[in-house]
Structure 1
């Protein structure tokens, strides 16, 4: 995948406190950056704090799959991109890419399944039409683009036959 098949969502420098004993960004902070980027996306489609408070609804991440492709280091500037792979009335299937801003290499990906919930249950509940419409617009924007090779990946040891 490349930037032309995803939407730029968030930019983030690698902070010094995120560097581990291997002298690159610790895996926990990849997840943190993807999570903060998800918040930006949710705000963008209208699933804001105000919406969550007034509707008594929220979202939960049901599943996430992170791939670590190339290490990043202190001070590197990162661009996070998003693509809606699929959505229905209660769920969104998102794919995020983390790219080195200057060198453009793919650093990591995060594939996420997210459910819209009523906090009272909590129980799955349909999103209002305006959210479903915005998700559908994002999905259609790259409908003709190939699916990222990391999407739908299964974890396991690959054995030679």
Structure 2
């Protein structure tokens, strides 16, 4: 995944750390969420699209594998890829790395569903969004 676009880069602050001295799980999820919106935006799922079309994206599943600790002062980056796209569903992966060492700190796989925000039901994504996501598909599935 080293050649994939970085969707998040940020610092681990002391207030991100728990009594064990490493970044608490809630912050991994938050940083992955920021990466998700960067990934979606690169596919055309932008705030303007969502608001203008009355659409939304909802997470229906997330699996996380924590692999290495990160500590206050560490810079982390997230690289993202699309694993699968269907008419209403996108499954994607984020890998969080320690920017200094390149070690993978955590991996998450998420499944998102495209919805009509008025009906509160799933609905098909426009063909151009599906096509953009299909172009990003890799077989780099971490198997979680």
TM-score by length of 2: 0.95
Instruction: Tell me, yes or no, if structure 1 residue 13 matches structure 2 residue 11.
Output: yes
Cross-structure match for 1:158: none
Shift of 1:24: 0.6
Q: How many residues align?
A: 144
Cross-structure match for 1:107: 105
Show structure 1 runs of 4+ deviating over 2 A: none
The structure with the largest alpha-carbon Rg is: 1
1:16-35 superposed matches below 5 A: 16-35=14-33
User: Partner of 2:92: helix, strand, or coil?
Assistant: strand
Separation in 2, partners of 1:16, 1:37:
21
Cross-structure match for 1:48: 46
TM-score by length of 1: 0.85
User: Partner of 2:93: helix, strand, or coil?
Assistant: strand
Shift of 1:120: 1.2
Shift of 1:135: 0.3
Separation in 2, partners of 1:12, 1:108:
15
Q: Deviations over 1:44-76 (max 9, x none)?
A: 111111111110001000000011100000110
User: Which of 51, 55, 69 pairs up with 1:57?
Assistant: 55
**Structure 1 unaligned spans of 5+:** 154-161
Separation in 2, partners of 1:8, 1:104:
13
Separation in 2, partners of 1:94, 1:147:
9
* Cα RMSD (Å): 1.2
Cross-structure match for 1:147: 141
Instruction: Tell me, yes or no, if structure 1 residue 3 matches structure 2 residue 2.
Output: yes
